[in-house]
Amino acid sequence: MRTRAARAADAAVLGHLMVDSWLAAHRGQMPDAAWQKRAAEWTPDVSARGWSRVLAAQATTPARDDVLLVAEDDRDAIIGLVYGVVADDVPGGTTGEVAALYVAPDRQREGVGASLLRAVAGELGDLGVVTLRLSVLTANLPARSFYESMGGLEVGHGTTDEEGHLLPTTAYEWADVSVLRAT
């Protein structure tokens, strides 16, 4: 398994991976009506168009403030993605956020997520990020366990709106991204 920067040609695969992984991960973690609405409306094509916009913006923006990486298996199949950004709500550009980290459901527990998290920490660290944070549904116990196993410290709680349902979230942070890069 290896990581690399995503390319424009990856958008369709990223769309499928993101939708499949998100739906598999979050079934049962929110009201079924909200999950069903997401499943019906958020298609792989819709997701692919979003990734195409991200990749096009990266290609035309000279000052980079985000990183989109993929993990490939030994057959060059994309099996995971991570999207990290320099946080715009913290002055100085030293805080980064993992906005998305998804691994194909049939490739989880193989170290793909850990490799992607380390890689995005490295890339964001090269952009000046010192602290890395992310938020996850509180009900997503497998993800929470993963982030804790990677050294993430629980630093807060909030909510996210999913089709009018306020779902509890848990925030994790790595105060020194270099520690994560070294694991």
- Residue 28, phi-psi category: left (phi > 0), alpha (psi -120 to 50), beta (remainder): left
Least confident piece of the model among 5-19, 88-102, 123-137 = 88-102
Across all residues in the chain, what is the average pLDDT?
Answer: 93
Q: Among residues 61, 97, 81, which one has the least CA distance to residue 15?
A: 81
Q: Please report which confidence band the pLDDT of residue 88 belongs to, taking 50, 70 and 90 as the band edges.
A: confident
Give strand ranges (E) for the chain.
Answer: 2-5, 66-72, 78-86, 95-103, 131-137, 153-162, 165-174
The amino acid that residue 153 corresponds to is L
Average confidence (pLDDT) over 102-112? 93
Distance CA(54)–CA(68), nearest Å, equals 8
User: Residue 43 has what pLDDT?
Assistant: 94
Distance CA(22)–CA(118), nearest Å, equals 21
Q: Please report which confidence band the pLDDT of residue 91 belongs to, taking 50, 70 and 90 as the band edges.
A: confident
Distance CA(134)–CA(120), nearest Å, equals 12
The amino acid that residue 1 corresponds to is M
- Is-contact 107 79, C-beta < 8 A? yes
- Domains detected in the chain: 2-182 (3.40.630.30)
Is pTM beyond 0.85? Reply is yes
HSE, side-chain direction, 13 A CA sphere, residue 180: 33
Least confident piece of the model among 6-10, 88-92, 119-123 = 88-92
User: Residue 163 has what pLDDT?
Assistant: 87
Residue 182 has pLDDT above 70, yes or no: no
Q: Among residues 93, 95, 114, 92, which one has the least CA distance to residue 103?
A: 114
For the stretch 140-166, pLDDT in tens is 999 999 999 999 999 999 999 998 999
For the stretch 10-64, pLDDT in tens is 999 999 999 999 999 999 999 999 999 999 999 999 999 999 999 999 989 877 7
User: Residue 45 has what pLDDT?
Assistant: 96
User: Residue 179 has what pLDDT?
Assistant: 86
